[in-house]
Chain A
């Protein structure tokens, strides 16, 4: 893990991508910081960071796009997978290198509350918990970007796909407001989701019996539930979709609540995508 971590981290700075990302974040946050906090005398840095966090996240694909797709394209993945290091360790090494670059950017932002403190009233707890939340959401999105990068050998496709997914997540609240909240709509949505899951399972595992079993039993269960307790379906789909974007809970932190559930959610998402990355690599080795 160490070798991959050190190499990747060094490469982020030797090919400027790491420097560019950090410079972009610092410049962007710096402008808002000097305008709102310094210029207008608003003492809450956390709020300012939250309001521009979406740009911080949308720029993440430039960090994650190369992680695996570049290795696949140049054939350097051969030295990694034929070495004695396990795939999990390789994935962790790469992931930690990206998180470190992102962490450096977040680390620089940690000076902002200190600067505010020299001018008067401040709230370190809120500010630093906001920075921590942004860092953890970023770490989860990096895992997502890494997973997408492991699916393709083109940097551009990886970047565009990751950007698209992140943008969709950012717009999720807006999109869900268009979805009807009736029970019937959610019921139909659930059935489509079950069918989609069984189709995806079939394409991955090529097992007709389990895939069709999954589809049929899932649909029957949903139908039964619909007739037994219809109220369960009311606004179900919009509610679930609204919970998906990690940034949804970011406001809690600036409202002086240290949301432990959210923190656990961020970490779980990161772990899930790290796991999926190892699985996607393993699948490629066996197909």
Chain B
């Protein structure tokens, strides 16, 4: 549906987007994740044709945004970070203007506007001036403008910023509903939002793609590198000794909590196997009590922080895994 090829954007000497490549399939919700200044908005602005790229191209359904802007742009609905609203207009006037600007046929405009207003639940404010609306409603009017005429691709730049929790949930539900029939790309720096809404997550940092996979898989990949936490009543030495007898354990660090009198050990392994069962058995054999035993699972938030804080090794690892998993998937599909 969308192909981003070798995209580069320079602002003077600053490289905002650095040779970005990715493909977006139709009928999925994509999350564009990255810290402030990572190049999310710039990439979205290039994808929608608002600004031009220094190098590279974006193909929307096979149409280049730079060579065939008209064909490409009519397939996209875009809600920028700040909704592009004319505050001196009434909601209905604004949507009529947007419909005409988007080139929706005259006969279909009224229905398209009604549908967009129903979807974003703004029918009751249609007669009000946009300047008198609250931030939440303004965001919805912006969203209504983006979904007007139900374009194939809907791009939303931080659609829930500045909204109250109830509105956030409503907008998320709306996005989920849209994702059933359309390709939706949304940018955010809120992890829960992305893991709750998106089918695929693209993490971008310093203008580069650092990972692209489903939220669950990204967590899984990072879990492979995870640690195991052991809590016990036994004394520090015996905990350390017991753990050292377990095969495939790479390192053990034991810390005694003086307040509770318990010992906490952080164990790292040198395989991808789950060694929790062996640890449990080792403690049982030594008749030592085990209060807690769990693998330190990274949330998408941890993954994000780890990937975007510049740990090159981690980034490479995730990239390798992502590519490997994708290849496996492709092989499976091929076999099927």
Using CB atoms and an 8 Å cutoff, list the residues of chain A in contact with chain B: 2-4, 6-7, 10-11, 14-15, 74-86, 282, 285-287
Beta-carbon contact of A2 and B78 below 8 Å? no
Instruction: Write out the residue numbers on chain B whose beta carbons fall within 8 Å of the beta carbon of A78.
Output: 45, 50, 78, 80, 84
Question: Which of B51, B70, B88, B89 is in CB contact (< 8 Å) with A286?
Answer: B51
Question: Chain A nearest CB: distance from B79 CB in Å?
Answer: 9
Is A84 touching B88 in the complex (CB atoms < 8 A)?
no
Find chain B residues with CB under 8 A from A75 CB: 80, 82, 84
- For B71, the closest partner residue in chain A by CB is A84
Q: Apart from A82-B50, A285-B52, list 9 A-B contacts with CB within 8 A.
A: A3-B97, A7-B97, A75-B80, A76-B85, A82-B73, A83-B73, A84-B73, A85-B101, A285-B51
Q: Is B316 an interface residue (CB 8 A)?
A: no
List of 7 A-B pairs having minimum Cβ-Cβ separation, nearest first: A3-B100, A79-B84, A286-B52, A3-B101, A82-B48, A76-B84, A78-B84
Chain B stretch 61-117: residues in CB contact (< 8 A) with chain A = 69-70, 73-74, 76, 78, 80, 82, 84-89, 93, 97-98, 100-103
Main secondary structure of the interface of B (DSSP, over half): loop
Contacts of A287 in B (CB 8 A): 11
Complex Cα spacing A2 to B85, Å: 18
> Contact between A83 and B102 (Cβ–Cβ < 8 Å)?
yes
Minimum C-beta distance from B42 to chain A (A): 12
Query: Could you name 29 residue pairs across A and B whose Cβ atoms are closer than 8 Å?
Result: A2-B100, A3-B97, A3-B100, A3-B101, A10-B93, A11-B88, A15-B88, A74-B85, A74-B86, A75-B80, A75-B84, A76-B85, A78-B45, A78-B50, A78-B78, A79-B98, A81-B49, A82-B48, A84-B69, A84-B73, A84-B102, A84-B103, A85-B101, A85-B103, A86-B69, A86-B70, A285-B50, A285-B52, A286-B51
Task: Give the number of residues in B that approach A within 8 Å (Cβ atoms).
Answer: 30
Interface residues of B in 149-180 (CB under 8 A from A): none
Chain B nearest CB, measured from A83 CB (Å) = 5
Binary per-residue interface labels of chain B (169-198) against chain A in the complex, 1 for a CB within 8 Å, 0 otherwise: 000000000000000000000000000000
Q: Which residues of B contact A (CB under 8 A)?
A: 11, 45, 48-52, 54, 69-70, 73-74, 76, 78, 80, 82, 84-89, 93, 97-98, 100-103, 145
Which A residues are in CB contact (< 8 Å) with B45? 78
Q: CA separation between A138 and B84, bound complex, in Å?
A: 31
Hey, which chain B residues are within 8 Å of A11, CB to CB? Answer: 86, 88-89
Cα distance A76–B51 in the bound complex, in angstroms: 14
CA distance A110 to B84 in the complex (A): 39
Residues on A with beta carbons closer than 8 Å to the beta carbon of B82: 75
Distance of B313 from chain A, by nearest CB (Å):
37
Q: Closest chain A residue to B155 by CB distance?
A: A82
Give A11's nearest chain B residue, CB to CB. B88
A84 near B74: Cβ-Cβ < 8 Å:
yes
Indicate the member of B48, B85, B86 with the most A CB atoms within 10 Å: B86
Q: Which residues of B contact A86 (CB under 8 A)?
A: 69-70
Least distance between B74 CB and chain A CB atoms (Å): 5
Docked Cα-Cα span, A82 to B84, in Å, equals 11
